[in-house]
Amino acid sequence: MKRIVEIDLLRTIAIIMMVVYHAAYDLYVFYDWNFDLWGENWQTFRVMTASLFLIVSGIAVNFSTRSLKRALIVLACALLISAVTYLYDPRTFIYFGILHCIGLGMMLLIPLRKLKELNILIGIAILTLLPTPNAPFPTLDYYPLLPWFGLMMIGAGLGHYLYIRNDLRIFRFPLSVFSFPARNALLIYMVHQPILLGILWIIRPYT
């Protein structure tokens, strides 16, 4: 089916937010920039970024004819990140980050998308009734399936209501400036940190 421009737009916005946050993280960790990365403002920005990725991933499940394959690819990338971060620092490696959550959530939504709009109510219940657990071990990135999967369920329900049931199209013309990063979101996720670190090193080598 033709790409839905507003979904591409939302995913592109999420990518930009991710790059901004990770650039701030790199400056804080590697260059000792003095700002409150763990304060309310930056952490709210981080949660908003992750939430947008999860909701859009849930919406997109409605349109994929290869959901299982896509989920397995995402999980494979998640395992690669686990391996790389373990080699970097086994004390804080990423054992269940955002990609782990999205990949497993995509698999769970394959049967659950049949619930259609009911996913919205179940997702809201998961978010409101289940607390967010702290990471059992130190880690650089932690998004447990519960309650974060609730956002993917909400996205799946919204996607069915807006685009399957009502055939909503906010934009009726293609915008390739958004479709390119949206189509390559996983690739961008995997390579953006090395690129960021390389650019920062060129501008200002580690001291």
pLDDT tens track, the chain, 207 positions: 578 889 999 999 999 999 999 999 999 988 888 889 999 999 999 999 999 999 999 999 998 878 899 999 999 999 999 999 999 999 999 999 999 999 999 999 999 999 999 999 999 999 999 888 889 999 999 999 999 999 999 999 999 999 999 988 777 666 677 788 988 999 999 999 999 999 988 887 655
pLDDT at residue number 180: 86
Domain, as residue range, for 127: 5-203
pLDDT at residue number 172: 67
pLDDT at residue number 68: 92
pTM: 0.92
User: How large is the greatest C-alpha to C-alpha distance in the chain, in angstroms?
Assistant: 57
Non-local CB neighbours of 190 within 8 Å, separated by 6+ positions? 77, 80, 81
pLDDT at residue number 203: 83
pLDDT at residue number 206: 57
pLDDT at residue number 116: 96
Whether omega for the bond prior to residue 194 falls within 30 degrees of 0, making it cis, is: no
Residue 31 host element (H or E) = helix 5-31
pLDDT at residue number 1: 55
The Cα angle at residue 87 between residues 146 and 132, in degrees rounded to 5:
15
DSSP 113: G
pLDDT at residue number 173: 65
Residues in the chain: 207
Distance CA(40)–CA(43), nearest Å, equals 5
Domain total in the chain? 1
pLDDT at residue number 97: 96
